[in-house]
Structure 1
Amino acid sequence: MAISHDIGLFFPFKLNRPLTKEEKQSRFVQGKRRKVFGEAAVLDLDTVIRMNSSYLEVVDKFYPTKGYVASFMMAFCLLFTVFILAIAKVAIFNNGNVPAFLFILLICSAGICFFLRFLLKDWFRKTHYPVRFNRKKKLVHIYQVSGGVITVPWGDVFFTTSKQRISYCIVGHLLSDDKETVLNTFSFGYVGQREELSLYWEFIRCYMEEDCLEELAETVLFCPPVEKQKEGYIAGLQRLMQIDSRGDWLLLVLNLPFALVESLARYIAMQTSKIPQWPQDVLDACAVEPNDSINIGAENNPVHRWRTVLANETREAYDTKNQRLKLANQEIKAKLDAKYKTVPELE
């Protein structure tokens, strides 16, 4: 079951307000290497839709949990409908009490409308709201939840941490001239534990600023299959069922009924939503060289996806994957160490 991070979709971001102390303290600064711990230098966290030498396109933070809230809203609407039908049988057919039935119908209809309001925030919208990081022109192209597209200079965005309940993500604030007032906010990519945000930020920052594209490409193992297409049912189910180790198999079995319900709501959400289309000016700004040696997308995804989802890869495949990641991260760290002679910024 995914962690929902619904601020920005079901509830709007707070705008026209000053930056908070926490946001200033948790800022991710462009142009500065960030201190990370462990062997990994970067993490893409399965958010990359397309990566080449011109741009990096990632999913929004709502994509991993699409269908999560809708599954509850769908269940509540069905329960209310069943309740209304049961009351109709008793009130009309058994007792002939039409006024009482109409009164209860009015109350239940209000409840259904309330739940439908949230459900339609997820259904009949966009399959996802991508963000493109334009490396060549140092721009960020943002597909907003409202449907509009805005483009801003990479250096003008105030990136920081956003917390909701137990999960965290990175958001970008667009500030007024006073550099204090938040005029607009967008989110992207990963939602989860705070410890991984620095690694994810370094992946984005290194793509935009460092000379290590080939090494970064080696760290991307899976791309969500949403570029110019709608996610299929199996792909959605795999995302909901993915576990980290075989020790989670029991938990997976226990959560399977919930995952199946959520997968249905997710599939409906995907099929009723439209694929986002970038305007021509963004496509022109992100033009890709014909012979670009870096071109990573869903077509490069591993064939045996279910083995990865269920943490059941063969030992050979598992070791090969980890060796690939280890070498790529070592090379990235070596390049960053050579460039930044000073101590990296602490988390």
Structure 2
Amino acid sequence: MAISHTLGLYIPFKLNRLLTKDEKQSRFVQGKRRKGSGEAVVLDLDTVVRMNSSYLEVMDKFYPVKGVIAGPMMCMIAFVIGTMVWFSYGALISPNFKGGGWAFLLPLSGVCFFCFLCGRPLLKDWFSKTHYPVRFNRKKQLVHIYQVKGEIITLPWKDIYFTTSKQKVSYCIVGHILAEDNETVLNTFSFGHVGNKTDLSRYWEFIRCYMEEDCLAEMAETVLYCPPVEKRREGYIIGLQTLIKMDSRLEWIPNVLLLPLSLIESIARYIGMQTSKIPQWSQEVIDACAVEPNDPINVGAENNSPHRWRTVLANETREVYDAKNKRLKSANEMIKAKLDAKYGVVPEPGTK
């Protein structure tokens, strides 16, 4: 799963190429209601950093697995350096050692080369940015993208070609910036969630409804958790919770077995968060996203439940679980009713 999140960060997107057949078939079109099935019309998938009437800021797709690749890299570098130091110390104190400094040159060069190879992906997590957010500006119909290279670009909502990108065994939503021929990809950015196509369809509808529909109050009710990274660094506990979050109690056994690896990854994640800079939006973006005083829509990490561990371990009480599902169902029903009134009733798949 971690490999699925790396395209665009560790592995650059392919640019200056034509759109593929799959990208054309999987396009998400602005101004068009997305057909779906089931009770959920929209899903935020724990990606919302801040939501108000002016803008919706979401996480990058790399955030959930930050530390997963850095953890093993960190361990390998520490092992190789430790082994080199141990052998060097043993050789130097040995009475039979008669070599000079040249005896250590070759292994030292090998260690340096190995550290260089492992250090490059490590620095994608460390000494970079804590995350790479994307802002959807509802009032001005703009999208502000904080790119991996540190640049901030702003594009009209209608000018972006949104589609799915296959990531090994899963998918994510990407936005393409096309040339004048509307075929050549000049730039690509990703955001939000990596998962199956059904979830991505509902996630896209969450983004589209925010930008285009009159249902902000209902959408705010569907956001149950916001990553606490706005203008601050993530703490160690939050990072550990993000890495080990379970969807059901069936995951308890494999997660216990993988706990040592998760702890290593959480340490690497924490180092990455503490050594990285918090992304800062330019003044132009801040001005463009100005929030009206007393905005009735204001969703952020301050609204998170204090019982996060229960959610992480899939161990919520029946009362809390039922109340949460009732809230989500009610909000989605109201959103669906508004969309049906505007676009007409969309039949469920398999019905006439």
TM-score by length of 1: 0.96
Correspondence for 2:334: 331
Q: 1:340 to 1:82 in 2, by over 3 A?
A: same
- Choose the corresponding residue for 2:318, options 315, 318, 323: 315
2:125 aligned with 1:127, yes or no?
Answer: no
2:340 touches 2:346 (CA, 8 Å); kept in 1?
no
2:132 touches 2:279 (CA, 8 Å); kept in 1?
yes
Correspondence for 1:159: 162
SS at match of 1:121: helix
How far is the alpha carbon of 1:12 from its aligned partner? 1.4
What pairs with 1:20-99 in structure 2 (closer than 5 Å)?
Answer: 20-94=20-94, 95-98=97-100, 99=102
SS at match of 1:68: coil
- Choose the corresponding residue for 1:272, options 251, 275, 293: 275
Structure 2's unaligned 5+ residue stretches are none
SS at match of 1:96: coil
Letter in 1 for 2:280: Q
2:188 aligned with 1:185, yes or no?
Answer: yes
SS at match of 2:145: strand
2:265 aligned with 1:262, yes or no?
Answer: yes
What pairs with 1:284-303 in structure 2 (closer than 5 Å)?
Answer: 284-303=287-306
Letter in 1 for 2:301: A
1:169 touches 1:190 (CA, 8 Å); kept in 2?
yes
How far, CA to CA, are the matches of 2:53 and 2:186 in structure 1?
31
How far, CA to CA, are the matches of 2:111 and 2:46 in structure 1?
41
Structure 1's unaligned 5+ residue stretches are none
1:5 touches 1:167 (CA, 8 Å); kept in 2?
no
How far is the alpha carbon of 1:100 from its aligned partner? 3.6
1:33 touches 1:202 (CA, 8 Å); kept in 2?
yes
How far is the alpha carbon of 1:4 from its aligned partner? 4.6
The percentage of counterpart residues that share the same residue type is: 68
How far, CA to CA, are the matches of 1:84 and 1:344 in structure 2?
66
1:87 touches 1:101 (CA, 8 Å); kept in 2?
no
Q: Which stretch of the first structure deviates more once superposed, 220-229 or 71-80? A: 71-80
SS at match of 1:187: strand
Correspondence for 2:108: 105
Letter in 2 for 1:44: D
SS at match of 1:238: helix
1:58 touches 1:188 (CA, 8 Å); kept in 2?
yes
Letter in 2 for 1:235: I
How far is the alpha carbon of 1:186 from its aligned partner? 0.6
How far is the alpha carbon of 1:90 from its aligned partner? 4.7
How far, CA to CA, are the matches of 2:256 and 2:310 in structure 1?
16
- String of CA shifts for 1:139-192, please: whole Å, max 9, x gaps: 000011111111000000001111121221111000111111111111101012
How far, CA to CA, are the matches of 1:343 and 1:242 in structure 2?
34
Q: 1:154 to 1:327 in 2, by over 3 A?
A: same
1:91 touches 1:97 (CA, 8 Å); kept in 2?
no
What pairs with 1:100-249 in structure 2 (closer than 5 Å)?
Answer: 100-249=103-252
How far, CA to CA, are the matches of 2:123 and 2:339 in structure 1?
45
How far, CA to CA, are the matches of 1:100 and 1:329 in structure 2?
70
How far, CA to CA, are the matches of 1:187 and 1:164 in structure 2?
12
Q: Which stretch of the first structure deviates more once superposed, 131-140 or 8-17? A: 8-17
1:34 touches 1:344 (CA, 8 Å); kept in 2?
no
- String of CA shifts for 1:218-240, please: whole Å, max 9, x gaps: 00000000001000001111111
SS at match of 1:120: helix
How far, CA to CA, are the matches of 1:30 and 1:274 in structure 2?
33
1:238 touches 1:309 (CA, 8 Å); kept in 2?
yes
How far, CA to CA, are the matches of 1:4 and 1:105 in structure 2?
34
- String of CA shifts for 1:296-329, please: whole Å, max 9, x gaps: 0000000111111111111111111110001001
How far, CA to CA, are the matches of 2:9 and 2:2 in structure 1?
16
SS at match of 1:307: helix
How far is the alpha carbon of 1:96 from its aligned partner? 3.5
Q: Which stretch of the first structure deviates more once superposed, 319-328 or 61-70? A: 61-70
Count of equivalent residues: 346
1:4 touches 1:65 (CA, 8 Å); kept in 2?
no
